[in-house]
């Protein structure tokens, strides 16, 4: 169970991350709405905890954007026990809200309750993003967002986390030249820490894995000299 936590107050976030990890949830913590949306675009999450007061946008706006592509269950954190928050949040597709200060135990109980409801009421776990090729089941590469695995002609590829994220960027952007900078931005949490050569090395490794799944499959990712890479499904 992978949870996206968006909270700009480190003390609250640290307490929550610790409590959630103790309960065996995996947690990705984002400090801003934009960081949360980027993380959500890069990988699937089963649950989102959104603080309403964020430095760059409100948690409600984050929820609205998430709802464009996903039915992921959302729990809001709010500093004000106002009816407005409640109505706005739930209208936007939030599943519940908790008013600060709260105990981590309360949050965990709410999450479990929401997940139980979600399990009964709609397909679960909710996909974070539409399948890569929903309209084309015969496509050579298929992403399984729940298992976070990509299959090449039916065989599961044994990818590292970065290779998976990179290949996912290609799957979501077929027939489009992607520069190394764009790939870095989408597949690395801290793009400043890596270089163009890192991308090249990962692409080389992905191609080798595609080739061992099926001869010729390495050509799905093509080099555009001086520009970047191109996914030809």
| Span interacting with Ca ion, options 53-61, 87-95, 129-137, 206-214, rule CB under 5 A | 53-61
The reply on whether position 53 binds Ca ion by CB under 5 A is: yes
CA 71 to chain centre: 13
Task: Please identify the residue of the shown chain whose CB is closest to the bound Ca ion.
Answer: 53
Q: Are 205 and 153 in contact (CB under 8 A)?
A: no
Element (H, E) at 160: none
Nearer to Ca ion, 33 or 73 (CB): 33
Contact pattern for Ca ion over residues 11 through 50, marking x by CB under 5 A = ----------------------------------------
Taking alpha carbons only, the member of 43, 48, 82 closest to residue 64 is 48
- The single residue among 1, 2, 8, 133 that binds Ca ion, judged by CB under 5 A, is 8
Tell me the site size for Ca ion, rule CB under 5 A.
Answer: 3
**Residue 51 in contact with Ca ion, rule: CB under 5 A:** yes
Give CA torsion, residues 127, 97, 17, 31, to 10 deg: 80
Closer Cβ to Ca ion, 53 or 104, answer by number: 53
Stretch of 7-15, 64-72, 112-120, 202-210 lying at the interface with Ca ion (CB under 5 A) = 7-15
Of 3-11, 98-106, 116-124, 147-155, which part binds Ca ion (CB under 5 A)?
3-11
Angle at which helices 59-67 and 83-91 pack, to 10 degrees? 20
- Closest by CA to 107, choosing from 138, 145, 129, 75, is 75
The pair of three-digit structure tokens given for residue 125, joined into one six-digit string: 């776990």
Q: Is 93 exposed, middle or buried (0-12, 13-18, 19+ CB in 10 A)?
A: middle
Please say which residue, 53 or 191, places its beta carbon nearer to Ca ion: 53
Beta carbon of residue 88, minimum distance to Ca ion (angstroms, whole number): 16
Which residues bind to Ca ion, rule: CB under 5 A? 8, 51, 53
């Amino acid at each position: 169970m992978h949870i996206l936590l968006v909270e700009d107050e480190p003390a609250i976030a640290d307490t929550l991350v610790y409590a959630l990890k103790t309960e065996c949830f995996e947690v990705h913590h984002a400090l801003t709405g934009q960081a949360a949306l980027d993380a959500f675009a890069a990988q699937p999450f089963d649950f989102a905890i959104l603080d309403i007061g964020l430095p760059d946008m409100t948690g409600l706006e984050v929820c609205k954007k998430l709802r464009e592509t996903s039915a992921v269950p959302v729990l809001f954190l709010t500093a004000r026990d106002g009816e407005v928050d409640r109505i706005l949040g739930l209208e936007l597709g939030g599943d519940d809200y908790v008013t600060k200060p709260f105990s981590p135990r309360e949050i965990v109980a709410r999450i479990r309750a929401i997940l139980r409801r979600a399990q009964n009421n709609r397909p679960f776990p909710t996909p974070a993003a539409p399948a890569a090729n929903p309209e084309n089941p015969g496509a050579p590469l298929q992403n399984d967002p729940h298992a976070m695995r990509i299959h090449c002609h039916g065989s599961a590829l044994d990818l590292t986390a970065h290779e998976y994220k990179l290949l996912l960027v290609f799957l979501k952007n077929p027939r489009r030249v992607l520069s190394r900078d764009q790939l870095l931005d989408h597949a690395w949490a801290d793009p400043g820490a890596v270089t163009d050569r890192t991308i090249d090395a990962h692409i080389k490794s992905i191609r080798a894995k595609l080739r061992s799944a099926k001869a010729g499959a390495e050509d799905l990712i093509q080099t555009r000299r001086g520009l970047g890479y191109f996914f030809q499904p």
